[in-house]
Structure 1
């Protein structure tokens, strides 16, 4: 794994699945928001505190941002991170933006993820 710097963010996030035809709700907001629509769903990632409790499982996520920007021609970034965290038995949810990659892990695994990433030679701030 190439050495990377990760920014560990708060607040915690929720991952929500709504019907494909749903309108993006007014509670969607915060410092980090991802909205993806497909033919089958509307997926929303945003500040967990803003999401109505009946719409998500209540098990929050912590975001690790790869310090960027990253060159869009880079290969293997997510594969390296996923391999590192999989070795520690930590499931991931990934989101890519134009500038960088974001890896979400359940809050209950965030400390172990930090340890695993550092053990692989990375910096986590």
Structure 2
């Protein structure tokens, strides 16, 4: 499977919400995502709810790009293709994957560059 086949005519939605990525010591039931490791817990929450998180580090200003397609586990290099394409236009990413799709977070200030780059890969990107 070629990642380009999934990107071409693939739909990418852009969140209306802006998010914060927080390092904390507890879960947030209303978080978009929670990642627990042995030494820390990371939660992704809507930026307006960050005050309710007991966080010791916060990165503000992230927009979520969701690849609205079911990505098979056998697909190799999809995120590498996306991350490389965005790196070519100096856009840093934070990635959260679910069972069937990927969510790529980009800084709000980089959103227009990210959208332009994804469109150049023939993705249909909702603005």
User: Does residue 17 in structure 1 map to residue 23 in structure 2?
Assistant: yes
Aligned twin of 2:97: 96
Supply the RMSD in Å over aligned alpha carbons.
Answer: 1.9
Runs of 4+ with deviation above 3 angstroms: 53-58
Aligned twin of 2:69: 68
Q: Cα gap change, 1:58/1:72 in structure 2, threshold over 3 Å: closer, same or farther?
A: closer
Aligned ranges 1:1-125 → 2 under 5 Å: 2=4, 3=8, 4-18=10-24, 22-25=25-28, 28-29=29-30, 33-52=32-51, 55=55, 57=58, 59-125=60-126
Is the contact between residue 9 and residue 62 of structure 1 (CA under 8 Å) also seen in structure 2? yes
Structure 1 segments unaligned to the other structure (5+ residues): none
SS at match of 1:36: strand
Q: Distance in 2 between matches of 1:58 and 1:73?
A: 32
Q: Distance in 2 between matches of 1:58 and 1:75?
A: 29
TM score, norm. by length of structure 2: 0.83
Is the contact between residue 59 and residue 107 of structure 1 (CA under 8 Å) also seen in structure 2? no
Q: Distance in 1 between matches of 2:94 and 2:50?
A: 18
Q: Distance in 1 between matches of 2:106 and 2:72?
A: 24
Higher strand share: 2
Q: Distance in 2 between matches of 1:76 and 1:5?
A: 18
